[in-house]
Structure 1
Amino acid sequence: MIVALDTQLAVGTATGIGVYERDLAAALRAQGVDVRALAAPRLDPWRFDRRVLWDQVLLPLAAARSGATVLHAASGTMPLVRTLPTIVTVHDLAWHRVQAHTRAYARSYFGKIQARAYRRAAAIVCDSCFSANEYRVLIDPTADPEVVYPGVDPRFNRIVRRPDESPFALVVGTVEARKNLRVLVDVLAAIPGLRIVSVGPPTPYADEVRARAAELRVDDRLELRGYVAREDLDDLYARAACALIPSRYEGFGYALAEALCAGLPAISARSSSLVEVAENAVPLVFPDDVAGWVDAVRALLDDRTGAERRAELLRANASERFGWDRAASHMHVVYERVAKR
């Protein structure tokens, strides 16, 4: 069996789904799976027109020419016309829930048009039970998506914690409305001495966050660093006092899974798949409950030694739950099932 794997979002500076594609390809190959990674390096994956060109024209052509048995559309989008039996990973249903502020053509393509394409897939894979249920509610009530937790890069398991004496909270992810960074600006105003370091690509929402920080006069304690290199991200995971994940909607919650694997104390929003990933192991706060966030952060900072000890105890279980070996083995079973039909 040969697997054609869409890795277009891993082109250039990979974040989120691009990292998923890259790491899945490596994990599958480590298990002896014949993977043909499909990508067009000269095509900017973040331009909408280029993304559609890839999904609907270049990807199905590349898949047909690859000699593969099945195609895994790992980016969350798939061709409307299939040239191979196709497995699609539906990472989340955000385009059906929380993207009303985006352009109509993007909502149409990533929402309604892709929903139509999904119904033609040979298998649906979701990153969490939450996302699988969302798929049934929003796309197809008769569907039975396969739930395969993504893996976390094993380098997070090897991070040696050395928290800074002056505490800062780490926030990882694209700076966009659903990630809800603004609520943490209000937390900064209530906890003098705390700093927040945000890493991840900015969107226009970042201007709203900066404006709120300036209004509350905490802009000197908020750093929006944008994309950072791997070694710099690892350094932040080692030095931060905690990770904060205030997102209103996640299909999986990589930032929380990475924190758990790194032994970094975390506080998460009580929302979407984050509750599932947390497994009652970290404090949960409703996304927009500023007072709740303030109380949770203060409690953690008041007992940093205890928080570190508890986070370390969670590490082994998280590394097993979110191991790429497990994810790749499960995905291989899905490929074989589709190939035998």
Structure 2
Amino acid sequence: MDNSAWVTNHTGQLEFTLVGFFSQSKHPALLCAAMFVLFLMALSENIILIILIYSNAHLHTPMYFFISQLSLMDVMYISVTVPKMLMDQVMGMNKISAPECGMQMFLYLTLGGSEFFLLAAMAYDRYIAICHPLHYSTLMNHKVWVLLASGCWFLGSVDGFMLTPVTMTFPFCRSREIHHFFCEVSAVMKLSCSDTFLYETLMYLCCVLMLLIPVIVISSSYSFILLTIHRMNSAEGQKKAFMTCSSHMTVIILFYGTSAYTYMIPISYHTPEKNMVLSVFYTIVTPVLNPLIYSLRNKDVTEALKKMWNVESVFQ
């Protein structure tokens, strides 16, 4: 191994080149415009939902608190990767320094990991609400749901702190071209000239654990929920419970499906094209869809939105 490459890697002067999503397209300008529109949609939808939840007293419940946390994560998640990607395309600059790359990697790992656990917390909340409605206010008091949300953020940061420093301290003596539009772990690892097999194995075990724990919580919660819904005598109650849970399950399938492929299939089976398409899905498309799924199918949110719109119309 070239010692100079190792030294360069451990100074702040190392730069990577992000090949980017647009290089694969025949119409990069059109694709860039589409991405910009999706970015603005995700930001506006999630910010409006956060403001709506915190400004309306009727939405100060655990379920909506968790939805607001999900929206906050989505706003941060999309802001970590997309602005850099769009600026690179517009300015014609696709360089990123090692510290910037490490920071981007840490943030997206932290936010992605936090979202895994938050979706599990939301499933647990629905389980308590539907299966133990009489004890809901006791089991899910303000202290409990704030503690659950804090735990989700903490566990997500553990993922970032574990994987980022190790990934970024490997020597990079091959091409400095990252075949991705951001510093995704598997894309960066492909540039290392050292043996990363042990680290990859440990990383996948960590990712399996990060996915497995929330999946067990979600599966258990929804198994009990389905049994409870089946036993309900009221058709209206069944419909309301099913509608509440179906929104959450849609989000889970969208987010977990793409993430499971990215982090549970060995790097050797990944292709840059597939990785980028899937990354676009869970970093851009999912933050756009999440608020729509939770708001358009939810009477409480649509009513609160109408009230806010009416108030703004009066002041105009």
Look at both structures and tell me which one has the larger radius of gyration over its CA atoms.
2
- The TM-score normalised by the length of structure 1 is 0.24
Higher strand fraction: Structure 1 or Structure 2? 1
Higher helix fraction: Structure 1 or Structure 2? 2
Q: Which has the higher contact order (CA 8 A, sep 6+)?
A: 2
